[in-house]
Structure formats: C-alpha cells, structure tokens
Amino acid sequence: MLSRVAESLFWMSRYYERAENTARFLDVNFNLLLDLNRITPVENPNYWIALILVTSQKERFDELYPEYNARTVTDHLVFSRENPNSITSCVSLARENARSIIESISSEMWEQINHLYHFLQGTSQQAVHNDPSGFYREIKNASHLFQGITDNTFSRNEGWDFIQIGKYLERADNVARLIDVKYHMLLHEKQGKKKISGESDDIIQWMAVLKSCSALEAFRKVYLSKLDPENILRFLILDRTFPRSINFSICAAEDALWRISGSSRHRYVNNADRLIGKMESELGYASIDEIMSEGLHDYLEDLEEQLVRIGEQVHLTYFAYHTPEIEPNGVEEALPFTGVGGGRAIWSQAQQQQQ
C-alpha cells in the first residue's frame, strides 16, 4: 500500500472520530445543563469553558470570542473554520483525505462522507440552536453509519488496520481529555477538598461523562447502581470490553499495529509496536487505586503524551518512509500536519490547465 494512501486512511478515520466525539461532548453538555437547571443558571460559563478545555483551545477561543455561552462555544466547536478541531473542520479534513484516496476506499464510504459534508454545509446556526440534540444525533449516526459501511465494504487488509489505528488512538485520547477536564472542574468547585465525592450533583456530572461515551447503560450492567466516581473511572479507563474505554481502544489499536508489522507479545519490530505494547500492558495491570494515589491528572496527562508519541512513531515507520530528506523551499506554505499535504504551492500548481 502506498504510504500516502495509508496516511490518508489514518487521518480520514481520525478526523471522523474527532468530529463524532466533539458532537458527543456538546450533546451531553446541553443535557447536563438541563439536568442542573435548578441548581445553576443555564448560562453558567463554567460548563462551557470545560468544552473548550477538552479541545485545548482556550487561548484561541479567548482571542476570537468575548464570552463563554451556548452560542459562542457552539459556533467555535461546530462551525468555525478558524478552529481546526471544529466539527465542520474535522469533516472537511476527513473528506479531503478521503478525496485524495477516493480510488482506495469503497464508493459507499465516499458517498457517506460526502453526504455528511453537504449536510453540514446546509445546516444553519439557528437550526442547531433550535434542536441541538437532533443535530448532534445526526453527526453521531453519520459516524456510526460510516463505520458500519466501512465494516461491510472495506477489505480486511493493511488499509483497514490503518483506519482502526486512527480511530482508536483518537478515541483513547478524547476519553482521556474528557475525564481529565471533568475531574479538574469538580475538584476546582470543591476548592481544597482533595477527594471528589459522590454527592448528588457530582454524580449527575459523572453520569454526563458516561453518557457522552454512550457508556451509561453498559456501566449499569456491570456496576448496577453503584454510581460512584471510582467505579466510573475504572469503567472508562480500564474496562476491557466496552468499545469506548481507553483500555479497549488501546488493545484495538495494538491489534491493528501488530497485524501490520507481524509483531507479537514477546517480539516487537518497531517503536510504534513497542510503545503501544507497553501502554497496553500497563493498562492491563493497573488498578484504579494506584492511579488515584499517583494523581489522576498526572496519569491522564502522561497517557495523552504517550499517545502523541505513538502517533509520531506510526508516522515515522509507515508514512514518512523514504521521504526525500530535504524539504522544498517554502515549508511555511505547507498545511498543518493533517494527512493531506502540500499547501498552497501545490494548490496553485495543480491548477495547471487541462485539455
């Protein structure tokens, strides 16, 4: 498989997953505000700041908008082209990547990406404001449909594995960020108390975290009604069977990486395999008590850093292989690291006239 094709499959999948996760955060936040309506005014900016923190966009956001409220945050996370992680930007980037490998994916996959893209182009801010849940459900369903189509139309070859790696690395990263931010917020509110409690409004917030991972029902089946923070964290970080937990995502990414390279539990052939194997083992033997005593925030931050490093190693091992060492002049013209490369220089040259 061409390195460029593998890279675009990886990013196509990653951006699609990112769009879905952003839709999940936003959807749950709306519901949460409704749940907490009696306790706090709906426009309490704290609940909106959290969403911006999840996407590491606080500085950028402060430059662009005067305050945190439903409108500005929705605009930034759904529509803004300035924000490379907005749903619109992610879907556009997923589509650009798909377009550059259109002959390698099934036409059904392409049509589905295209359909979502055109749906977003045709959606107004007001429409989202009127029916936020309907809108976010549409995005989530589009992502599920895409994965289902991929599942049923894409051969189980190397390309499939790159799609899986992109999806699960992104998912693990998103869940880690989501937990981290929520934990941070709740600690902050309790000012000084070192331990998060199982008080009722805290529980409502932790339920929101579960919901945004579509994990509430699955959680209840395991822990029944023992909705305490430690069980919730155990489920979201360490559960091996739930497809949106961090541990599950890492196992799935590991499987895919090992299928590509032929690595196994006792023998790795490249650094990406080594790092993912290490992370998988650590998750497999970790306990929630250890994580909490080490400090949840530090633990999650470390995990996010490890995920970045794995991403870099995948890039070096499979995508950057045999790239000419000297970059042409005008590197600043290149687009950010997003899979589709080249930037404006290529854009203007590619316009060469056609007969």
Partner 1 sequence: MKRYFETYDHGPERFFDEVFSKEGTPRPHYGKLLQRFRQFSQEDINARREIINIDFRNQGITFTVYGVDEGIERIFPFDLIPRILPAKEWEVLEKGLLQRITALNEFLFDIYHTQKILKDKIVPAELILGSRHFAREFVGVNPPLGVYIHVTGSDLIRDGEGNYLVLEDNLRTPSGVSYMLQNRQALKRAFPAIFGKYKVRPIENYPQELLRTLQEIAPPGRFDPNVVLLTPGIYNSAYFEHSFLARQMGIELTEGKDLVVNNNKVYKRTTRGLERVDVIYRRVDDSFIDPLVFRPDSRLGVAGLINAYRKGNVALANAIGTGVADDKVIYSFVPKIIRYYLGEDPILQNVPTWLASNPADLKYILENLGSLVVKAANESGGYGMLVGPESTLAEQEKFAEMIVANPRNYIAQPTISLSRHPSFINDSELFGCHIDLRPYVLYGKNVTIVPGGLTRVALKRGSLVVNSSQGGGSKDTWVIDE
* Nearest partner of 229 among 186, 172, 270, 170, judged by Cα: 186
d(CA 155, CA 161): 10
CA–CA separation, 16 and 109 (whole Å):
12
Residue 245 to residue 156: CA distance in whole angstroms: 24
**Cβ distance to partner 1 smaller for residue 22 or 100:** 100
Helix-helix angle 107-121:87-99, to 10 degrees: 150
**Closer to partner 1 at the Cβ: 34 or 320?**
320
Residue 267 main-chain phi, psi, to 5 deg: -150, 115
CB 129, min distance to partner 1, A = 27
Q: C-beta of 6: minimal distance to partner 1 in Å?
A: 5
Question: Could you give the angle at which helices 45-54 and 158-190 cross, rounded to 10 degrees?
Answer: 150
Question: In whole angstroms, how close is the CB of 173 to partner 1 at the nearest point?
Answer: 23
Residue 111 or 298 with smaller CB distance to partner 1: 111
Residue 345 burial class via C-beta count within 10 angstroms: exposed 0-12, middle 13-18, buried 19 and up: middle
- Smallest gap from residue 100 Cβ to partner 1 (A): 5
In the complex, minimum distance from the CB of residue 133 to partner 1, in angstroms, rounded to a whole number: 26
Task: Give whichever of 230 and 333 is closer to partner 1, judged by the CB atom.
Answer: 333
Residue 101 vs 196, nearer CB to partner 1 = 101
Measured CA to CA, the distance from residue 8 to residue 67 in angstroms comes to 36
- The distance of closest approach from Cβ of residue 111 to partner 1 in the complex, given in angstroms and rounded to an integer, is 4
Long-range interactions of 55-60: CB distance < 8 A, separation 24+: 55/22, 55/83, 55/85, 55/177, 56/177, 57/83, 57/85
- Closest by CA to 3, choosing from 337, 347, 317, is 317
Q: Name the residue type at position 223.
A: Y
CB of residue 59 to partner 1, shortest distance in Å: 27
Residue spans of alpha helices (H) in 65-124: 70-74, 87-99, 107-121
Is the distance from CB of 308 to CB of 14 less than 8 angstroms? no
Looking at the Cβ atoms of 198 and 341, the one nearer to partner 1 is: 341
CB of 267 to partner 1, least distance (A): 18
For partner 1, give the closer residue by CB, 224 or 350.
350
Positions touching partner 1 (CB under 8 A) are 1-6, 96, 99-104, 107, 110-111, 114-115, 118, 158, 260, 318, 321-324, 328, 340-342, 345-347, 349-355
What's the N-to-C CA distance of the chain in angstroms? 31
Nearer to partner 1, 190 or 274 (CB): 274
